[in-house]
Amino acid sequence: MSIELKNVTKQFGGVSAVHGVSFSVADGQLVALLGPSGCGKTTVLRMISGLEAPTAGDIFVRGKRINDVPVQQRNIGFVFQGYALFKSMSVADNIAFGLKIKQWSKPDRDARVAELMQLLGLRDLEKRFPHQLSGGQRQRVALARALAPKPDVLLLDEPFAAVDAKIRQELREMLVNLHHELNVTTIFVTHDQEEAMEVSNRIVIFDKGRLAQIGTPREVYEEPASEFVARFVGVMNVLDCEVRGGVARFGELEFPAHGVADGQRLRIGFRPYAVQVSHDLSAHRYRAVLRHTYFLGVLLRLELELPSGLLLRSRMTKEEYSRLNLAEGREVSLQIRQYRVLAREGEHLPPEVAVTHSLDHSPGEGI
């Protein structure tokens, strides 16, 4: 493993910013640390870099424990959210700064700077100063400076937060291409779910200083380990159901109870894509009225109101919407094709329950 954290905790006074976190990053992976503000993800990044020391636990890079290794000796590149470029230095001098500290020869420095400027699309900007660059260009310079000494690990803290949406998309694509080109082990912090899903091989999700889930983008989206993950990554319909007669019920909706005793409650969650809608009222078990349609570009999000007043969210393509001749105010039928039982905070579900369950309703049938 390139990076490994074992039961790492960080306390500030009496407050635990990070508590008992363990995860590993393989050589060459691009991993996102994802979570809301204040969840501990940036603190984890700073402990890996050496800017903070763990209160407990161990951090390893390439098998070597680095808890007591000074920042300068860790061979880790760090890109800060605010760029942290030297205002009095040119682009070329900013990129070469770390190489001078490491006493590279001038020919080697010049060659490395030229290589990175070419790779990051900074040609002809070597004599400019940071104030003469756009936000996207400054971020590219910061990235080139971090990569210049050929670090074992690259760390990025909210790398695209300070630029507009168009530049942010360009920088995401650049980071993916750069990672494929250099294959450097990379960890980046973000609170942007779309960014984490698009860029990373794996996602480490934090909740209140604890590790909530680790998985590929598809795994954390389709198989959320808890209600927190389900709500934080993407959009999910979540129902607090009561079990009666061996069935979990919420209004007119019914789901298998998976052996849970009557009187207990189950948290049921399903993504909008799992809600199948038809203009044919006899096609599916449940009926609803299409109250609102939201345009999301390629997809449309539908807000459906059931007779009980429950609102569900579905989604479909524009083409399917037109083919079904849907319109706001129209009555439709629907079915829920699949769902998950979600764990509440601190709850652990049996493996046979914490999976994706499929439903196949025929019109008018119960479960």
- Domain contains 365: no
Question: Residue 367 has what pLDDT?
Answer: 37
Tens-place pLDDT, residues 130-148 = 999 988 899 899 999 999 9
pLDDT for residue 263 = 87
Does 106 map to a domain? yes
pLDDT band at 351 (very low <50, low <70, confident <90, very high): low
Structure confidence at residue 82 as a pLDDT band (50, 70, 90)? confident
Mean pLDDT of 68-88: 88
Catalogue the long-range contacts made by 129-135 (C-beta closer than 8 Å, 24 or more residues apart): 129/87, 129/88, 129/89, 129/90, 129/91, 130/83, 130/85, 130/86, 130/87, 130/89, 130/91, 130/94, 131/87, 133/91, 134/167, 135/162, 135/163, 135/164, 135/167
150 lies in the same domain as 255: no
Residue range of the domain that includes 215: 3-227
Give the pLDDT band of residue 350 (cuts 50, 70, 90).
low
pLDDT tens column, 317-341: 999 999 999 999 999 999 999 999 8
Q: Which pLDDT score, from 0 to 100, does residue 362 have?
A: 40
**Residues 285, 173: one domain?**
no
pLDDT exceeds cutoff 50 at 103: yes
CATH of the domain at 148: 3.40.50.300
Query: Are 304 and 200 contained in the same domain?
Result: no
In this structure, are residues 32 and 195 in contact, taking their beta carbons and an 8 Å threshold? Answer: yes
- The answer to whether residues 209 and 335 belong to one domain is no
Q: What is the count of structural domains for the chain?
A: 2
222 is a domain residue: yes
pLDDT at position 84, please?
81
Quick one: pLDDT at residue 364?
Answer: 36
Is pLDDT at 295 greater than 80 in this prediction?
Answer: yes
DSSP 188: E
Domain boundary among the residues 182, 205, 227 is at 227
- Is the same domain home to 26 and 143? yes
Averaged confidence pLDDT in the chain: 90
Residue 135: Cβ within 10 Å count:
15
Please check the confidence at residue 69 and state whether its pLDDT lies above 60: yes
pLDDT at 177: 87
- Cα gap 89→249, rounded to integer Å: 65
pLDDT for 27-62, tens place per residue? 999 999 999 999 999 999 999 999 999 999 999 999
One domain, residues 67 and 113: yes
Last residue of a domain, one of 182, 208, 227: 227
Q: Over 50: is that where the pLDDT of 363 sits?
A: no
Statement: residue 366 has pLDDT above 70 = no
Per-residue pLDDT, 347: 73
Per residue in 196-245, pLDDT (tens digit) is: 999 999 999 999 999 999 999 999 998 898 899 999 998 999 999 999 98
Clarify whether residues 121 and 265 are in a common domain.
no
